[in-house]
Amino acid sequence: MENKVIIVDYQLGNLFSVKQACEYLGFKAIISSNAGDLLNADFVILPGVGAFADAMNNLHEFGLAEGIRKYTASGKPFMGVCLGLQLLLSESEEFGKTKGLGIIPGVVRKFDVQKIGNNTLKVPQIQWNTIDETSKNIWQHTPLGCCKPGDYMYFVHSLYAEPADQVTILAQTIYGKKKYCSAILHKNVFATQFHPEKSGLHGVDIYREWFNLNRK
């Protein structure tokens, strides 16, 4: 039976490039804003680009916030991308405090202003940057098992996730002098701060690995 892949549409997302990555790998992905579709899915992907508060407002308006919580509680595979990672945490400090989905305890924080020599580091970070393991061989048997430490991925973000439990941090990245969480793995929930679908073949391989680890 064909696996059902749902890409969550809450009017703030990088939906079509994610859909293209799924279809390149042979999966038929459906873009949906219907919470009922999530509960019947085999895989759910939550992409996102934009403001945290706007995203949470839209998720609540479409009834998707509770749908995502119920889906992740079912134990089925869930993947967040960029803002989709940040929304999983308890709250964000962007434009004041906003409550998140609360699936992973933690806070989304702003990058501090960083001076590197005579230059001020730009925020948002819009560039290719490396991902690294938090401990040796931690990526084995995870969706990052196809990667090696130091691989480059594509990032676009002004804030970063700070999970309460360090054990959930699967990958880390350094921007200026700040080392931060760039991927999370918590039970059936996997999420990346970078955009795998915009990171060339390395990124597509992450989707492939995630599907292969979780397909029926």
Per-residue pLDDT reduced to its tens digit, 87-107: 999 999 987 889 999 999 999
Contact assessment for residue 131 and residue 148, using Cβ atoms and an 8 Å cutoff: no
pLDDT at residue 122 greater than cutoff 70: yes
pLDDT interval class at 8 (50, 70, 90): very high
The whole-number pLDDT of residue 70 equals 96
pLDDT in tens, 152-211: 999 999 899 999 999 999 999 999 889 999 999 999 999 999 999 999 888 999 999 999
**Most confident stretch, 16-20, 37-41, 65-69:** 65-69
The whole-number pLDDT of residue 22 equals 94
The whole-number pLDDT of residue 121 equals 80
Phi, psi for residue 150 in degrees, rounded to 5: 95, -5
> Of 88, 58, 67, which Cα lies nearest the Cα of 6?
67
Q: Which residues 6+ apart lie within 8 Å of 208 measured at CB?
A: 25, 146
Residues with active-site annotation: 82, 195, 197
Domain chopping of the chain, boundaries: 5-214
pLDDT in tens, 42-89: 999 999 888 899 999 999 999 999 999 999 999 999 999 999 999 999
Contact assessment for residue 196 and residue 207, using Cβ atoms and an 8 Å cutoff: yes
pLDDT in tens, 134-167: 999 999 999 999 999 999 999 999 899 999 999 9
pLDDT interval class at 21 (50, 70, 90): very high
Report which of residues 125 and 189 the model is more confident about: 189
pTM of the model: 0.94
> Which two three-digit tokens encode residue 146?
């196809």
The whole-number pLDDT of residue 5 equals 95
User: Long-range contacts for 94-99 (Cβ within 8 Å, ≥24 apart)?
Assistant: 94/51, 94/52, 94/53, 94/158, 94/159, 95/51, 95/52, 95/53, 98/52, 98/53, 98/56, 99/56
pLDDT interval class at 112 (50, 70, 90): confident
Class of domain 5-214: alpha beta
The whole-number pLDDT of residue 2 equals 74
pLDDT at residue 1 greater than cutoff 70: no
pLDDT at residue 111 greater than cutoff 80: yes
